[in-house]
Structure 1
């Protein structure tokens, strides 16, 4: 049995700001109410599904919470406690995403395509979902909570909710149904039906609450693999007599990443083709391309004012944006990944897999769904290679300092080799040839770099040299 709503909302308002996935840490909670409350299991332990309306600074955001209720909270769940009555009497409340005794209920419901109040549990036709697996939450995630069910499934619970079908479900489901092998197969999802959405203060559209997919337990993320390669390259000692050639040729070090970068480029092109087939291709008129270039330049101007360290590169960046405007012609646009980098890909025994098609977290759902030229994703990955190349330099103390910029020289060589390999693989697999669209690609990449400069200046000042140093090489 739940405590009175006033006590429950008080406990939730105190607990929410301490959660990594809560997006409102920069301000106080002005009000919190319960939009929907659905009991999924009675007894001890009990399970309640809550949608919370959280008001901050004149806006309302909605969050999903699995609320567990136990008379006695075991030590293994103390870290997930939300609250409860003072003293020893009364039930204890906690985040049930950490309780495998209760999360198994989600598998049961998905396998049975059950309904509970406004909640609907769906599965893909023919998906045989096992219900005997215990869950383990991945605690490193920021905006969502993912549960691993054995080494078989991963269930992503969307904490901060968006209206309508979540992009990650929409895109992955379409690609799964189209037979794309470069995404984890979707098995099922959880949604809030329109009537429940309306009661929660929404506009009557269904909202995606969770996504169940195959778990690629043999996968290694691209960022970790790239960093291991950079570490090997930094540690490499050129053979005596090889001189400058060995210093600049990243292929001579152990753990060379270029072959994987080329395979990743090919997988990216294949996914782009699958996205075009699933969602179609449209044409962006030349006038809108011209306006896009103007927006890029305006963002550069504003960022130079906010971050003076970018100013020395402004002339070169502006020239690329002006070239794009001068050469503006209609562009094919389609659905793309939207937030593409090495942390969004996994290397498995069968090849590269792309993850997390939600788009950039700071953008609205409509902005994330907007069509774009596929080279925007290519530009995002090229920027990620620049970051990987310089991560160990930026991370103080990880790599011993060397005089004369030797590490930066090596970082540039590693990035250049892997950028070229990725583009080569992308073009060979049927993607738009980056070499044939140099102005467009550079504009997308410089737009991303300007965003990075502003982000690092505001959030991670110690990392600001990473985008600035890469621009010193690229904007020449």
Structure 2
């Protein structure tokens, strides 16, 4: 029997658990989740105490065997209550505890095979799974294969709804991707990749919504969704929650971040790649503007945009004291943006009508892939995971994505030793040149807006690195010095 055949799982009849049973189940898992969740890369609430869990839905995708070693697969949506931090979109004010909803896929066995030891969460002490071992199901090829089988057969299972756009091959060996990810991804036979969204919200997730819209425009720069699944409602809500998206796996493609670092290490030039990437970004922006509504930003909207950026700066300075000496210098950029809305920018962008549209929202080199034939693709349209979904789905100036990529070139140059600011500047210029070739509009012409978005992105990076990767904090702080008008 082939390896692929040995891991295949024909779904046994599953069912949604009644609310009372789901609540009992989650309560019994709470002691294990208290320890396990904060250690996960995708858990957004690090550094804040967990004060409670609440079951939203619980579904047996494959019921645990009554006896014997056979695995079961539980799908859970769980609200995790934590003490809150201030909203970075507004001046700091007291806010109630957060209750983010997370998607969990748990395997259940009587004993855990040695090859799944790293996936172990723990043994349940009470409740319906007493004495059973629960573990991260995506590490188990048999259970990961079952997810693909569910997607191959569209339909509903309790609160879960499975849909597909095309036929899907079966018998593909799954493997869980490692590395730093804000979600989880499983590759099936080098043909498909399934992205499991971990922190979920009511409403269409951009990681499904935007690739579907781009597919409708015939845009080939973004892999088109093959299948997806959702939860219908969130414990009484009417909007579905996007849970996972299956897309073609771009085999042998190269991650833009790794490609840039390798080029730097070899002393090579990256400007041709940067220019091509600028053209690819332009194609995606043009297709998004054609597929979805666009709006014009007037003086009031521009002032509100600048005010939100200033609010994030103030909140971040409270959280990261190293930013405090640069606040006044950085604020001048946001003040200039606010004045530009009333025709007083002073950089040649006076009177310019700013168009807003749907954008990628978190564009950087790590969100790009170069295929073996040299073509660039953009991936991961979820946006910045820390932002509310309503903000990520909002129309914004396309220059926000440009600013994100400019910051990424700077990151690559700073990550490499010795630091090469000239390399970064050449790439930044080439990327803007390529973008201008693709759209007919040079993003550098609206310097006030571009600088404001680049500054806002650097402030976001400071907070992210301080919370998650303190060793990387000097990278965005170097940009903060430059953007604040200080000499490094």
In the other structure, the counterpart of 1:360 is: 384
The 1:382–1:78 alpha-carbon spacing in structure 2 relative to 1, beyond 3 Å, is same
Contact 1:323-1:439 within 8 A present in 2 as well: no
Structure 2: how far apart are the matches of 1:322 and 1:388? 31
Q: Is 2:290 aligned against 1:290? A: no
TM-score of the pair, normalised by structure 2: 0.81
RMSD: 2.8
Structure 1 residue 232: Cα displacement: 2.5
Structure 1 residue 114: Cα displacement: 3.1
Contact 1:71-1:90 within 8 A present in 2 as well: yes
Contact 2:174-2:189 within 8 A present in 1 as well: yes
In the other structure, the counterpart of 2:265 is: 231
Structure 1: how far apart are the matches of 2:311 and 2:98? 28
In the other structure, the counterpart of 2:76 is: 50
Measured against aligned partners, the alpha-carbon deviations of 1:221-253 in whole angstroms (never above 9, x if no partner) come to 1111111122223xxxxxxxxxxxxxxxxxxxx
Tell me the SS of whatever aligns to 2:226. Answer: strand
Structure 1: how far apart are the matches of 2:60 and 2:317? 53
Give 1:77's match in structure 2, choosing from 109, 116, 139: 116
1:45-444 aligned at under 5 Å gives the runs 45-57=71-83, 58-85=97-124, 90-124=131-165, 127-194=166-233, 197-198=234-235, 202-233=236-267, 255-297=268-310, 299-300=312-313, 306=321, 307-310=323-326, 313-314=329-330, 317=333, 320-321=336-337, 324-325=340-341, 326-327=344-345, 329=351, 330-350=353-373, 351-393=375-417, 407-408=418-419, 411-430=420-439, 432-444=441-453
TM-score of the pair, normalised by structure 1: 0.83
In the other structure, the counterpart of 1:39 is: 60
Structure 1 residue 322: Cα displacement: 6.2
The 1:383–1:168 alpha-carbon spacing in structure 2 relative to 1, beyond 3 Å, is same
Structure 2: how far apart are the matches of 1:316 and 1:461? 27
Runs (5+) with no aligned partner, structure 2: 1-13, 84-96
Structure 1 residue 134: Cα displacement: 2.0
The 1:152–1:434 alpha-carbon spacing in structure 2 relative to 1, beyond 3 Å, is same
In the other structure, the counterpart of 1:30 is: 51
Structure 1 residue 459: Cα displacement: 5.2
Measured against aligned partners, the alpha-carbon deviations of 1:247-298 in whole angstroms (never above 9, x if no partner) come to xxxxxxxx31110000000000000001111112111112321332344456
Structure 2: how far apart are the matches of 1:453 and 1:323? 26
Runs (5+) with no aligned partner, structure 1: 234-254, 394-406
Structure 1 residue 313: Cα displacement: 4.4
